[in-house]
């Protein structure tokens, strides 16, 4: 019998949804021998990239029956890859004012190959076809993210596709308890409208690595639940973003909340009955005695949603405490929305990381980001080859890619 032909083509929502769902369900995410996560894409296989145009989803099919055996998603955006010293404008250079250097970056996510069809070159073929589309659309770099335990994915990308390990941020996960988190006294939290949030982010964070040039599209997206800023006494009223940027308080912190619950649901599998029973007991006690503030385990064993915290930043000696207050505010908001976890991703050396509550068992200390240069760098030359640059203290994680 001859080798069966593998055909890679663009996803067709009218006829491919069932086949894609079968592949997704056969590919649970998680290290072998440990509990795993199953992702339910809410009936829309392309939903995780449609918020980041331009985007593409490819499938691989095999045999005369055209069985779907693999899939991959990708999108392209313009992000900050470095910074340059401003040379125009009065006193710009003297005051060390930096401007962002942008590049066109492609992102690969959701590579899946059904278990019976692995080690047949399907994953490599999907990546190669997607990279062709990236190049045709002007992308200068491509990157992907995976957890440190996913040896097969790391081996494919670094060993066969020419990617190199680039950044190692941490994914921090906090359960949403049955009780509300008590917010600290003498901290005031203000909600910003999208225009104010855009002004703040462009002014303070536009030179942060991976900052999206279309931050306005992110902040105005229907999945964005708002941007919130925390300050200490005696800063009691919001003066407006313009005045804030001219004369900020000594300490402040900011974050935005993204409603991933409306995009996909997760489900933890492979957990013993004993652990399920202990988790249920903790929830019952927490619900009956909320004033005890018991750190109960949410219902992870059926589909649950999450809120993603992004755009996290701040300044001043009290900024860590203010970040913790914002995370408490986000927790209470997620509780009202029926979410089970809060998730954020930060650089491994992020100074504000100390203010982010999380459970070590649920978190990922080292998420691997691998990058590849697709062509010449079309920036102004301030960065050179981004793949060889040193990491900064922070990264800006785009919630559309979560």
Residue 150 pLDDT class (50, 70, 90 cuts) = confident
Lowest-pLDDT range of 32-46, 179-193, 295-309: 32-46
Strand partners, 309: 257, 344
pLDDT of residue 37: 62
Percent helix, strand, coil in the chain (nearest 5)? 30, 30, 40
Cβ neighbours for 48, distance < 8 A, ≥ 6 positions apart: 41, 73, 109, 110, 263, 264, 401
Among candidate residues 147, 224, 201, 208, the one with its CA nearest the CA of residue 347: 208
Backbone CA torsion sign across 98, 102, 105, 109: positive
Q: What distance in Å separates the CA atoms of residue 207 and residue 215, rounded to the nearest whole number?
A: 13
Q: How far is CA 352 from the centre of its chain?
A: 17
Q: What distance in Å separates the CA atoms of residue 275 and residue 253, rounded to the nearest whole number?
A: 37
Token pair listed for 180: 């509300």
Token pair listed for 109: 């996510």
- pLDDT at 33 > cutoff 50: no
- pLDDT at 183 > cutoff 50: yes
Q: What distance in Å separates the CA atoms of residue 48 and residue 1, rounded to the nearest whole number?
A: 39
Cβ neighbours for 341, distance < 8 A, ≥ 6 positions apart: 173, 174, 175, 176, 298, 304, 306, 307, 334, 362
pLDDT of residue 338: 93
Q: What distance in Å separates the CA atoms of residue 228 and residue 398, rounded to the nearest whole number?
A: 17
Residue 147 pLDDT class (50, 70, 90 cuts) = confident
Q: Which helix (H) or strand (E) holds 295?
A: none
Residue 19 pLDDT class (50, 70, 90 cuts) = very high
Token pair listed for 101: 């250097």
- pLDDT at 93 > cutoff 80: no
pLDDT of residue 54: 87
User: Could you say which DSSP state residue 186 is in?
Assistant: T
Q: Given the structure tokens 């639940």, which residue do they identify?
A: 225
Do 321 and 359 form a contact (C-beta atoms < 8 A)?
A: no
pLDDT of residue 277: 93
Cβ neighbours for 215, distance < 8 A, ≥ 6 positions apart: 198, 201, 202
Strand partners, 265: 40
Token pair listed for 239: 């003066």
Q: What is the mean pLDDT of the chain?
A: 89
Q: What distance in Å separates the CA atoms of residue 153 and residue 161, rounded to the nearest whole number?
A: 11
pLDDT of residue 121: 93
Residue 32 pLDDT class (50, 70, 90 cuts) = very low
Environment class of residue 136 by beta-carbon count within 10 Å: exposed (0-12), middle (13-18) or buried (19+)? exposed
Residue 35 pLDDT class (50, 70, 90 cuts) = very low
Q: What distance in Å separates the CA atoms of residue 82 and residue 387, rounded to the nearest whole number?
A: 11
3-state class of 23 per DSSP?
helix
Range ranked top by mean pLDDT from 143-157, 208-222, 294-308: 208-222
Q: What distance in Å separates the CA atoms of residue 263 and residue 225, rounded to the nearest whole number?
A: 14
3-state class of 323 per DSSP?
helix
- Tallying the residues shown for the chain, one arrives at 402
pLDDT of residue 84: 87
Strand partners, 62: 6, 67
Q: What percent of the chain has pLDDT over 90?
A: 70
Domains for the chain: give ranges and CATH numbers: 6-167+367-401 (3.40.630.30), 173-355 (3.40.630)
Do 146 and 155 form a contact (C-beta atoms < 8 A)?
A: no
DSSP notation for 244-258: HHHS--SSEEEEEEE
pLDDT of residue 42: 60
Cβ neighbours for 137, distance < 8 A, ≥ 6 positions apart: 54, 76
Q: Which residue has the higher pLDDT, 94 or 345?
A: 345
pLDDT of residue 216: 97
């Amino acid at each position: 019998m001859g080798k069966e032909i593998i055909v890679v083509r663009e996803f067709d929502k009218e006829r491919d949804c069932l086949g894609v769902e079968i592949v997704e369900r056969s590919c649970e995410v998680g290290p072998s021998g440990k509990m795993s996560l199953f992702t339910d894409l809410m009936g829309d296989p392309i939903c995780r990239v449609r918020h980041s145009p331009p985007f593409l989803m490819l499938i691989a099919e095999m045999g005369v029956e055209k069985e779907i055996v693999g899939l991959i998603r990708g999108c392209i955006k313009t992000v900050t890859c470095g910074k340059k010293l401003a040379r125009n404008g009065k006193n710009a250079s003297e005051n060390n004012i930096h401007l962002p250097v942008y590049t066109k970056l492609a992102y690969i996510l959701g590579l899946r190959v059904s278990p019976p069809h692995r080690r047949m070159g399907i994953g490599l073929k999907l990546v190669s076809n997607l990279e062709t589309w990236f190049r045709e659309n002007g992308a200068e770099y491509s990157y992907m993210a995976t957890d440190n335990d996913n040896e097969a994915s790391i081996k494919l990308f670094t060993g066969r596709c020419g990617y190199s390990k680039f950044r190692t941020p941490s994914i921090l996960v906090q359960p949403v308890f049955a009780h509300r988190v008590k917010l600290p006294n003498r901290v005031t939290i203000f909600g910003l409208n999208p225009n104010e949030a855009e002004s703040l982010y462009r002014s303070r964070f536009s030179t942060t690595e991976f900052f999206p040039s279309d931050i306005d599209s992110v902040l105005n997206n229907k999945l964005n639940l708002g941007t919130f800023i925390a300050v200490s006494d005696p800063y009691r009223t919001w003066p407006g973003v313009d005045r804030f940027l001219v004369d900020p308080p000594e300490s402040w912190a900011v974050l935005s909340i993204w409603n991933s619950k409306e995009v996909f649901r997760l489900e933890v599998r492979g957990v013993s009955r004993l652990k399920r029973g202990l988790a249920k007991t903790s929830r019952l006690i927490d619900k009956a005695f909320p004033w005890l503030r018991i750190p109960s385990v949410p219902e992870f064993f059926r589909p649950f949603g999450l809120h993603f915290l992004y755009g996290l930043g701040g300044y001043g000696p009290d900024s860590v405490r203010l970040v913790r207050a914002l995370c408490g505010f986000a927790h209470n908001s997620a509780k009202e929305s029926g979410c089970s976890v809060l998730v954020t991703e930060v650089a491994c050396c992020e100074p504000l990381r100390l203010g982010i509550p999380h459970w070590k068992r649920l978190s990922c200390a080292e998420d691997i980001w691998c990058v590849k240069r697709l062509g010449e760098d079309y920036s102004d030359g301030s960065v050179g080859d981004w793949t060889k640059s040193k990491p900064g203290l922070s990264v800006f994680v785009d919630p559309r890619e979560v």
